[in-house]
């Protein structure tokens, strides 16, 4: 089925100010926003290069009392196109709908106030406002977006709105509401609502972020005049977006994804949410020097940046849904020295951040998925200008397969450096780790497959022999009888690291090189020490390093979503929410953004795991579904492989 926004909504989440809660966000493919712990407030309104960083604005005062200060619980329900918030306070029922306007750098919050008391009353509504707008076309090379302290707000008498200007004159934020304000202070706008018993009235707040006052005025006037239409337009646009994702020949993507038909609502929800976890990061900014981009995080940090590692974790989705952008990214990253940065940003196209050790593995995975699903073998001969000169795409891929040798130590394994090059918050997961050395085996075997296909059999056999030798050097890291792996430090010491990244990466890259006993032990270790009813531990709770950090993406108290948006807590440590693991908050020390683009890995688990699809570079697509108790009539329809369409059922795969 093709989902609608209604079918993808979250569970209702009830919270008040101060709770351990990661506030939900929205995108309109130009930028993003996050709602605040308030019935109307918003924060992190950013449309790169326009930004307000994490400025909070539009917060509600009721009869001159700051709504947050009342301690009132708010129910948050997220939809792809909007966020609903509801609350009851002092005989009043508040409900709001927050959207980002389609194709426009503006947010709207439509508030409805209902009098549920037996008597008529007048309610004074006041919105606290702040600016912070700026425009920066320089690289956004820090986690938070840029920000400027606004000049004193200028009151627009005609619109009864406040205009916030940056001191440098680069950006403005125009904020107001309809019906128009009847009162104001230096930092707020207000009006009074006369409500009969059971009566309702609506106030629509608009915040326009723009480079010029004239443009802000035009956008504001258009939105304030048609707020109901804008909410419906956002819903309709998102439903069209979701339809396009599954439609061959659609106008929004260079590819499409297969449709899953099943009565199993849980699997269907995982599949659609995994897809949504990729398309939510699509950015079609007119300011992007690389054209369409896919960000990695939102709505707080690194808003213009694509991390190579995270992109690779959703590689199958990118290969099927938007292969044109995937190919562009690969060539763009070939221009870059991938041993100096963790990714690139789209305002300048330049590299960002320190080197992540997984980059060679990431490039191999992304290139392999592009090639095997799209069959674009001719691309291997294309000449691309790289950081160290021009060469064929194939030669770049051969480099990614053998770059590990420059880090090779006397014991035969590559040393991948320190904390910031790897998991950042596990102090013992450093130097010679099993995961990335196993990925080097995968990289060489992938390159050997390309060479064999092109008739370069001698070089192919050489890489296969080197891969086999590397496997023999990796195996001593295994803790026999225990199911986990160790890291080798520079002095030769083997340090136990009971981490899921070894489990998943080793199983995904060199499983056939392990004995049945070793694989059984690894599965038993996962079930015994990492698994939980609704989530998992990234690091086993008995590991010596558990006191080093409480960052839940890679430590004992949670896990990053591509190992099993952003990190979630283990359910017996922090109570679940809505029958699922609770998302970790942004606050220090958890520093977890609301969502991350690697959720597409769930789609891989369903396509290649549950449906057992094997899509090799050559030899034809096959499927060995592993349904067990899963819906026996389930079908994956219109799976695209090298220009042809297929359906996958319990009995196997057939042409469409």
Average pLDDT over residues 385-394: 90
pLDDT in tens, 434-468: 999 999 999 999 999 999 999 999 999 999 999 99
The architecture of the domain spanning 5-239 is Distorted Sandwich (2.70)
Q: What is the pLDDT of residue 568?
A: 67
- Could you tell me which of 583, 587, 586 has the C-alpha nearest to residue 570? 583
For residues 556, 557, 558, 560, the Cα torsion angle rounded to the nearest 10 degrees is -50
Q: What is the pLDDT of residue 564?
A: 42
**Residue 387: pLDDT band with limits 50, 70, 90:** confident
Q: What is the pLDDT of residue 565?
A: 43
pLDDT in tens, 581-627: 676 667 767 777 888 898 899 999 999 999 999 999 999 999 999 99
Calpha distance 443→58 (Å, rounded): 51
Q: What is the pLDDT of residue 518?
A: 97
Kindly tell me if the per-residue pLDDT of 310 is higher than 90.
yes
Length of the chain: 656
Q: If you search the block for the tokens 């979250």, which residue do you land on?
A: 10
Q: How far is CA 181 from CA 192, 204, 303, in A?
A: 9, 11, 33
Residues above pLDDT 70, as percent of the chain: 97
Give me 405's structure tokens: 């040798």
DSSP calls for 589-608: TT---SEEGGGGHHHHIIII
**Residue 561: pLDDT band with limits 50, 70, 90:** low
pLDDT in tens, 13-33: 999 998 888 899 999 999 999
pLDDT in tens, 58-108: 999 999 999 999 999 999 999 999 999 999 999 999 999 999 999 999 999
Calpha distance 246→241 (Å, rounded): 9
Residue 97: beta bridge partners?
A: 84, 110
Calpha distance 282→291 (Å, rounded): 11
Q: How far is CA 451 from CA 367, 446, 641, in A?
A: 14, 9, 21
Q: What is the pLDDT of residue 595?
A: 86
Q: What is the pLDDT of residue 566?
A: 53
Tell whether the torsion through CA atoms of 212, 216, 218 and 219 is positive or negative.
positive
Long-range contacts of 453-462 (CB under 8 A, 24+ apart): 453/377, 453/617, 453/618, 454/380, 454/394
Write down the pTM of the prediction: 0.94
* CB-count exposure of residue 239 (10 Å: 0-12, 13-18, 19+): middle
- Could you tell me which of 334, 466, 309, 303 has the C-alpha nearest to residue 399? 334
pLDDT in tens, 144-197: 999 999 889 999 999 999 999 999 999 999 999 999 999 999 999 999 999 999
Calpha distance 33→543 (Å, rounded): 38
What is the overall mean pLDDT for the chain? 94
Q: What is the pLDDT of residue 386?
A: 84
Calpha distance 526→101 (Å, rounded): 45
**Residue 572: pLDDT band with limits 50, 70, 90:** low
Q: What is the pLDDT of residue 123?
A: 97
Give me 536's structure tokens: 């998992």
Q: What is the pLDDT of residue 584?
A: 67
Calpha distance 441→420 (Å, rounded): 23
């Amino acid at each position: 089925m093709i989902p609608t926004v209604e079918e993808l909504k979250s569970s209702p989440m009830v919270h008040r100010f101060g709770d351990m809660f990661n506030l939900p966000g929205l995108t309109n493919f130009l930028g993003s926003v996050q709602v605040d712990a308030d019935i109307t407030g918003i924060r992190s309104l950013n449309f790169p290069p326009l930004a307000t960083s994490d400025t909070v604005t539009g917060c509600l005062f009721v009869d001159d009392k700051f709504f947050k200060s009342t301690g009132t619980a708010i129910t948050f329900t997220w939809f792809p196109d909007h966020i609903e918030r509801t609350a009851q306070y002092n005989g009043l029922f508040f409900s709001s709908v927050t959207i980002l306007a389609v194709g426009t750098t503006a947010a709207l919050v439509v508030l409805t106030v209902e009098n549920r008391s037996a008597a008529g009353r007048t309610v004074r509504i006041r919105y606290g406002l702040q600016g912070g707008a700026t425009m920066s076309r320089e690289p956004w090379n820090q986690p938070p977006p840029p920000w400027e302290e606004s000049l004193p707000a200028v009151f627009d008498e005609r619109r009864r709105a406040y205009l916030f200007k940056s001191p440098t004159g680069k950006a403005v934020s125009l904020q107001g509401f309809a019906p128009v304000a009847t009162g104001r202070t230096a930092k707020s706008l207000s009006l009074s609502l006369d409500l009969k018993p059971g009566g309702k009235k609506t106030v629509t707040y608009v915040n326009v972020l723009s480079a010029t006052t004239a443009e802000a005025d035009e956008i504001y006037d258009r939105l304030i005049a048609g707020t109901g239409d804008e909410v419906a337009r956002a819903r309709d646009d998102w439903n069209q977006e979701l339809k396009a994702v599954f439609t061959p020949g659609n106008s929004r993507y260079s590819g499409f994804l297969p449709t899953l038909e099943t009565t199993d609502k849980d699997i269907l929800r995982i599949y659609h949410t995994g897809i949504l976890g990729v398309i939510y990061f699509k950015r079609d900014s007119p300011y992007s020097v690389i054209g369409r981009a896919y960000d990695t995080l939102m709505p707080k940090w690194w808003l213009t940046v694509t991390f190579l590692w995270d992109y690779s974790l959703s590689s199958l989705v990118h290969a099927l849904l938007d292969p044109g952008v995937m190919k562009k990214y690969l060539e763009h990253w070939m221009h870059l020295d991938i041993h100096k940065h963790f990714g690139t940003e789209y305002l300048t196209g330049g590299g960002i951040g320190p080197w992540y050790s997984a980059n060679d593995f990431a490039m191999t995975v992304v290139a392999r998925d592009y090639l095997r699903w799209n069959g674009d073998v001719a691309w291997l001969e294309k000449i691309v200008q790289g950081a160290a000169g021009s060469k064929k795409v194939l030669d770049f891929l051969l480099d990614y397969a053998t770059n590990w040798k420059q880090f090779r130590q006397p014991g035969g394994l590559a040393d991948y450096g320190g904390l910031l090059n790897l998991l950042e918050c596990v102090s013992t997961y450093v130097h010679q780790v099993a995961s990335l050395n196993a990925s080097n085996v995968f990289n060489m075997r992938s390159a050997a497959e390309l060479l064999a296909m092109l008739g370069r059999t001698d070089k192919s056999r050489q890489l296969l022999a080197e891969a086999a030798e590397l496997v023999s050097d990796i195996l001593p890291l295994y803790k026999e009888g225990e199911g986990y792996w160790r890291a080798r430090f520079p002095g030769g010491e083997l340090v136990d690291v009971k981490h899921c990244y070894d489990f998943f990466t080793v199983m995904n890259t060199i499983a056939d090189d392990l004995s049945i006993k070793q694989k059984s032990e690894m599965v038993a270790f996962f079930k015994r020490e990492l698994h939980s009813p609704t989530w998992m531990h990234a690091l086993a709770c008995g590991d010596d390093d558990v006191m080093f950090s409480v960052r839940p993406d890679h430590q004992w108290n949670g896990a990053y979503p591509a190992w099993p948006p952003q990190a979630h807590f283990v359910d017996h440590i922090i109570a679940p929410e809505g029958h699922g693991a609770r998302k970790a908050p942004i606050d220090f020390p958890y520093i977890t953004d609301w969502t991350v683009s690697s959720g597409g890995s769930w789609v891989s688990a369903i396509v290649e795991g549950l449906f057992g699809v094997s899509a090799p570079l050559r030899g034809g697509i096959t499927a060995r579904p592993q349904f067990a108790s899963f819906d026996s009539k389930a079908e994956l329809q219109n799976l695209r492989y090298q220009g042809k369409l297929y359906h996958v059922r319990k009995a196997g795969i057939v042409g469409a």
